[in-house]
Structure 1
Amino acid sequence: MSHKIIRSLLEGRLKAWAAARSPALRIAYQNVVFSPAASETYLRAFLLPAGTNSNDLAGAHRLYTGLFQITIVAPAGGGTGAAESLADELAALFPLYDRLTKTGFSVQVMTPVEPGPEQQGDTAFALPVSFQYRADTT
């Protein structure tokens, strides 16, 4: 399934970037056990596939679209600046119209990385950022 390849491409780039930071950022992936420390800033990664279409009469073409969301989670009480700086770095990591390729399959970033509504909790502040993706196969 191509959404599996899309997930591996997007999460792979995110993982390499997060591991190279100092200090490294941990990532909570979908359906993987994760226990953050109380004072830890970390990321949550979500692949949200949309419908799969076909744009040819033979049915050979597949169009995969969806949204990749990364939620930046920081301890409460520290302001928004650190999370917003990470959002800027993520925008540079996934530039508009960038292509990620694996064994002849490519996925393209179709919209700029944009922030979503911030969520303030008692112990954490969350800033989701996301972009749309597209992949075509024949």
Structure 2
Amino acid sequence: MSHALARQAIETKLAAWATAKGIGVAYGVEPFKPQADQPYLRAFLLPSSTTCRYLGTDALEYRGIYQISVVTPKGQPQSVPEGLIAELNALLPLDSFLDQGAFEGQVVEPLAQGPVIPEDAVYTIPATLTYQGSAPT
């Protein structure tokens, strides 16, 4: 349950930033149609196992990875998605809080850029961050 709250905390920040920038975001399995010749983001939650640090505890611990891939039309320079990733890193910096409802969490590993993935008409650069938090059972 609290992986969903972690996702919501991240996506609330991401949605506000993307709206201000005029950038579309495809969230998980939600319907999305990108604008032609414009970069957009694909965002996914990759949850890890839920743990319980102590026997008889009142809280569970949640950890996972949130991936934000920047999809850019071919022909645009690589500096375009790299600039967006730098802005995303400033939006969700290391140690920033991700509190949502009963979930109290934060970014525990900074946004890390992955390799360029070429496709027919676009290229994608994934970037991931790791979150961790807890919520009452």
TM superposition score category, shorter chain reference: over 0.9
Alignment correspondent of 1:131 = 129
| Percent of aligned positions that are identical | 37
The aligned amino acid for 2:9 is L
Q: 1:31 aligns with which of 17, 20, 29?
A: 29
The aligned amino acid for 1:66 is G
Normalising by the residue count of structure 2, what TM-score does the alignment of the two structures yield?
Answer: 0.93
4+ residue stretches of structure 1 with deviation over 3 A? none
Normalising by the residue count of structure 1, what TM-score does the alignment of the two structures yield?
Answer: 0.93
Alignment correspondent of 2:19 = 19
CA deviations on 1:73-95 (whole Å, 9 max, x unpaired) are: 01012220100000100110011
TM-aligned CA deviation for residue 102 of structure 1: 2.5
CA–CA distance in 1 between the matches of 2:134 and 2:103? Answer: 8
Secondary structure class of the residue paired with 2:30: coil
Structure 1's unaligned 5+ residue stretches are none
CA deviations on 1:17-69 (whole Å, 9 max, x unpaired) are: 00011xx0010011111122331210000010001000111143311000000
Alignment correspondent of 1:102 = 100
CA–CA distance in 2 between the matches of 1:72 and 1:86? Answer: 8
Secondary structure class of the residue paired with 2:48: strand
Structure 2's unaligned 5+ residue stretches are none
Alignment correspondent of 1:90 = 88
Q: 2:109 aligns with which of 104, 108, 111?
A: 111
1:10 paired with 2:19, answer no
Alignment correspondent of 1:62 = 60
User: Quick check: 100-109 or 119-128, which moved more?
Assistant: 100-109
